Structure 1
Amino acid sequence: MQYQAYPFVLNEAETHYKFESIGKRGVIEKAISFSKLSIDIYNLALLDFDPVTQNYIDDSVTDNGDMPEIMATVIAVILNYLNEHPARRIVLTGNSKSRNRLYQIAIGKVWEVVQEDLQILGFNGVEWLTFEPNGSFESFLIARKFLIS
């Protein structure tokens, strides 16, 4: 990916990775969390910190003008997470068609680099297929290559 990921840190409770979005609306605290769906499958959520409620939320549109850097950060966190937890699989689904499209584009940009180590499947509404950069998918399943057959 041609864009630089933001620096990120795993919080003390090890519940999410925190980073800062820096753009036209200033500095916005963001996080990426992984929540267990089944024994070895975890959902990835991209979150914004809401200073009013003091909670992380997943339904905001930040529009900070740095989406390429955010998507580079999501990919970097996925790679870090799978290095720490190589037997886990990650499900990535946007909360809108446009967010899914951004995920599709971000994965497509790193596909050449990560395909040796990662297996990425895309769900097309009917079945899981091997990821193709020009495909159209509703969800993505990402794992170390040896876990998905």
Structure 2
Amino acid sequence: MDYEAYPFRLNEENTHFKFQSIGKRGVFEKAIAFTLIEDNIYNLALLDRDPVTQDYTDKSITDNGDMPVVLSTVMAIIRDYLNQYPDRRIYLVGNSPSRTRLYQIAINKVSGQIDDLVVFGYSNFEWTKFEPNRSFESFLIIKNNVD
């Protein structure tokens, strides 16, 4: 992916990486949350801050015209997170088939440039190493410990 990532920061509670989406519809507060789902596997959630409730949700669609930059930011945060916690694994699935497809497109675009990460895809009840142009239902990303 040939896009710069947005600047991001870890919040004071160390629960979210926060950044701003800046695009055709304005500025939106976004966050990435990592939640333990099972032994050393953390779910990644891409969240938007609801301007009314001030809560973070994964149900909104901002359609801000900056999806490539947002996805580059997600990849940068994944790298940062796995550099901090190299033994953890990140589970990634969209809250809809179209969002999972967006994640797949982003992974496909960077798959040749991420030697520091290993990506697995889940399909037909099994995990296999990510292959471009093959459809997957979810993804698992780990730090490549080969230096």
Is the TM-score greater than 0.5?
yes
- Which stretch of structure 1 is more off in the superposition, 117-126 or 129-138? 117-126
Structure 2 unmatched ranges of 5 or more: none
Q: Give the match's secondary structure for 2:38.
A: coil
Q: Provide Cα deviations, 1:105-140, integer angstroms capped at 9, x if missing partner.
A: 1111111111x3211100114211110111101100
Alignment partner, residue 142 of structure 2 = 143
1:39 is displaced (CA, Å) by 2.4
User: What is the root-mean-square deviation of aligned Cα atoms in Å?
Assistant: 1.2
Mapped to 2, the partners of 1:138 and 1:59 lie a distance apart of 19
Q: Taking structure 2 as the reference length, what is the TM-score of the superposition?
A: 0.95
How many angstroms does 1:145 deviate by? 2.5
Q: Which amino acid aligns with 1:130?
A: K
> 2:56 is matched by which residue type in structure 1?
Y
Q: Which residue of 1 aligns with 2:45?
A: 45
The CA deviation string for residues 76-114 of structure 1, in whole angstroms up to 9 with x for no partner, is: 000000000000000000011111111111111111111
Using the alignment, how far apart are the partners of 2:59 and 2:124 within structure 1?
Answer: 22
What is the 5 A alignment of 1:1-149?
1-114=1-114, 116-146=115-145
Q: CA deviation at 1:146?
A: 4.2
Measure the CA separation in 2 of the matches of 1:43 and 1:112. Answer: 23
Amino acid aligned to 1:28: F
- The 2-side partners of 1:87 and 1:144 are apart by 7
How far residue 51 of structure 1 moved from its aligned partner, in angstroms, is 1.6
Q: Distance in 1 between matches of 2:110 and 2:88?
A: 20
Q: Which runs of 5+ in 1 are unaligned?
A: none
TM-score normalised by length of structure 1 = 0.94
After superposition, what is the alpha-carbon deviation per residue over 1:17-51, rounded to whole angstroms, capped at 9, x for unaligned? 00000011100000000000112100000000012
Which runs of structure 1 show a deviation greater than 4 angstroms over 4 or more consecutive aligned residues? none
Identity over aligned residues, as a percent?
62
Q: How many residues align?
A: 146
